[in-house]
Amino acid sequence: MQTNLVVPSPDQIFQRVLTAHLPRPSFDKLQATTALVAGLGGGSNIAELLARKGIGGLIIADLDIYEEHNVRQRGCSLSTLGEEKTVAMRARLLDINPHLSIHTVSQGITLENVDELVRQSDYVIDMLDFSALSEKIALYRAARRQKKTVLTAPSVINGAVLYVFGPEGPTYEDFFGFDPSLNKQDMSLRFLKKLIPDYPPEAPESMYRQAARGQRNIPLDAVGVDQASVLLVAALENLVLGRDDRVIFAPRGIQVDLSNPQFFIKVIQFSDIEEG
């Protein structure tokens, strides 16, 4: 390990980006952008890719610690087991880019802090578990009030799905048919109808429905978590650089599975908002 390491400048860290394809004004826009990453499950992979992409500010929020089963997540290693996810990811991200402005929220997203955290960010990334459904709904409502775009990318084994909710498009609640009178289990089953349009053969819909009922763990794989981060960060870069014409907004979405040559990638089109 180097003990007398000279910290490189941002230009040195991102030199190949600047000289290859990204002009200075575009890089400056990335550097001036702050993203709120709500949830450091798959969100840890997204946060790392944002740091490597050149996003200048991150707010990372999660209340959990790293455990053995989190191996698919970027911040999880033997050295971080038992450590708060926000603490471990802060150290990891600053080791990648020491110039990154990073704010950690170890209590996670709460009904009390969500408005202020959204206010401090330019874009919102929802990677909250459905066990935190009330906080998830509050996150989308706060973003819509403040005219912020929310991106979410659940992984599906070796693939992923991306939805981008603009402030003028359908609300998250309308899109998924949210009904506050339903219990969490029934609401999770309703969300599944649109959350995952196509299921891989190794993880059929019945498996996810069992997970929604609490009968088994949610199927997850490191490959899908990485694909989700690539989908989401590419879309966020397009938004920051004003390339909205390249972004698929809800009620449309994108699903990819690079492990299946008969599938690869497709644009999901929902013609209207269905009731569950």
CB atoms within 10 A of CB 68: 9
pLDDT in tens, 112-165: 999 999 999 999 999 998 878 899 999 999 999 999 999 999 988 888 999 999
Q: What tokens appear for 220 in the block?
A: 């997850």
Q: Which residues contact 273 (CB under 8 A, 6 or more apart)?
A: 170, 174, 175, 177, 251
pLDDT in tens, 241-255: 999 999 999 999 999
Within-domain flag for 72: yes
Within-domain flag for 9: no
CB atoms within 10 A of CB 110: 15
Supply the range of the domain harboring residue 29: 14-269
**Residue 276 in this model has a pLDDT that exceeds 50:** no
Within-domain flag for 276: no
CATH number at residue 39: 3.40.50.720
Within-domain flag for 250: yes
DSSP 131: G
What pTM did the predictor assign?
A: 0.91
> What is d(CA 80, CA 66) in angstroms, rounded to the nearest whole number?
7
Query: Band of the pLDDT at 1, cuts 50, 70, 90?
Result: very low
Q: Look at the chain and report how many structural domains it folds into.
A: 1
C-beta separation of 273 from 170 below 8 A: yes
**Residue 175 in this model has a pLDDT that exceeds 60:** yes
Within-domain flag for 7: no
Scored b (16 or more CB within 10 A) or e, 2-32 reads: eeeeeeeebeebbeebbeeebeeebbebbbe
Give kind and range of the element (H or E) at residue 270.
none
**Residue 64 in this model has a pLDDT that exceeds 50:** yes
> What is d(CA 122, CA 221) in angstroms, rounded to the nearest whole number?
29
Within-domain flag for 92: yes
Within-domain flag for 4: no
Within-domain flag for 275: no
